[in-house]
Amino acid sequence: MCMMTSQEYIESLRKLKTRVYMFGEQIENWVDHPMIRPSINCVAMTYALAQNPEYEDLMTATSSLTGRKINRFTHLHQSTDDLIKKVKMQRLLGQKTASCFQRCVGMDSFNAVFSTTYEVDEAHGTHYHENFKKFLTMVQDNDLTVDGAMTDPKGDRSKAPHAQEDPDMYVHVVERRADGIVVCGAKCHQTGSINSHWHIFMPTISMGPDDKDWAVSFACPTDAEGMYMIYGRQSCDTRKMEENADIDLGNKAFGGQEALVVLDHVFIPNEYIFLNGEYEFAGMMVERFAGYHRQSYGGCKVGVGDVVIGATALAAEYNGVEKASAVKDKLIEMTHLNETLYCCGIACSSQGFQTKAGNYQIDLLLANVCKQNVTRFPYEIVRLAEDVAGGLMVTMPSEADFKSGTVVGRNGETIGEICNKFFKGRPGVSTEDRQRVMRFLENICLGAAAVGYRTESMHGAGSPQAQRIMISRQCNMEGKKQLARNIAGIHNDNKN
């Protein structure tokens, strides 16, 4: 088997013994839990589209390890064309789900760990690269979803990992054995962790000689002994648990997922270790993963943006203001911002280059410029969406009110009849359709879906300052100054 169907993916999750906790209790049937299932549906879409001949070119690839047809989410990029197709695939999935489809972190970790382990082996004579190739072959052959786990809790951020009062603030090795290592710690904000078959753990910062025990990367199954997840809350999340919930959910079928992943003395066999004390390569792994993941945002957030723009245009039509010049201008601005993000994603992909290991890496400077724009533009897109939609987006009565048969009017009108009367828009548009588009925009702009669009645009793949630091490193300021000297006729650098 090389590629699963969406249903096979969902059934494969049922076979895992993943420990999931929510609201202080363990969730036994987490696959069918109403708060979790929409995020599983998002991942399932990555499998469904790969089975569709219409999307075969974007959703599938030929494995560089086996020569077999595989899902692109398990692929090692072999060219700039692969990098570009990755971004296009992510935009497509954003358009289909209007949410986070969660497999990007795994794909980005594959490519970062693949090239980094090659260079670690080259420097230290280790066997991490072979370990990783065998692991990824297994992932490709079984079409597994893998979570890329990078973000540690960090504790006192002014201190290095070894200097923390609690050493568990960064994932670390607590025991080295002949057959493997034992690790403790946690990873925060982990996208799609519960919905994954395996995890790849990576360092989260550059490290020094005293941080050797924290310079560790490895893979382990999601249901490994000693590993468990605590599900993260989202705005309006318990609406999914209301009886007969539908319109009030906004995006009923799809949603994102974040969790705290805890490692409580988890044993990792040698064959799944990809870094173990080689601290000088921790920063390389971090930068490469971050670069790939910042490229990703030029695809996924653009696809969701397409849906936000479409919903905003519908809201304008339902309100009867679609011909107003101010509304048209706002929709143009939303499109301009969205396509600018896409341009950045395509640009950093087209300027990619081959690593020593043979896979392709994006242009790091342009990838960080892409993500820096993502920390800003979706916020403006959402602001404009809220502007056009109007206050009804956040003040509308509940779905239950619109369906209520309770009599309140002098002439026997029910609450439902009153709501349907006063919240109707233009002629020819049902009140329910207006409800649906308003609730959808609420969900995207402020509710659970905002985690995967607005807020994640700020902090996912690193906060804005993380990109600015990388832009500073990559921008070649000395080269730019020399260009100015050459043209201005300055023949010395005038340095003190």
Active site residues: 100, 104, 191, 258, 293, 297, 300, 456
Do the beta carbons of residue 18 and residue 221 sit within 8 Å?
A: no
In terms of C-beta density within 10 A (0-12 exposed, 13-18 middle, 19 or more buried), how is residue 340 classed?
A: middle
Question: Across 197-277, where does the E strand assignment appear?
Answer: 198-201, 216-221, 227-231, 259-269, 273-276
Structure-token pair, residue 426: 């233009």
Phi, psi dihedrals of residue 3, rounded to the nearest 5°: -135, 130
Whole-number Cα distances in Å, 389 to 120, 141, 331, 431: 53, 46, 12, 14
Give CA–CA dist 260/189, Å, rounded: 6
Find the largest Cα–Cα distance for the chain: 91
Give CA–CA dist 120/79, Å, rounded: 23
| Amino acid letter, residue 18 | T
Radius of gyration of the chain (CA): 24
Cα 479 from chain centroid?
34
CB atoms closer than 10 angstroms to residue 320: 12
In terms of C-beta density within 10 A (0-12 exposed, 13-18 middle, 19 or more buried), how is residue 457 classed?
A: buried
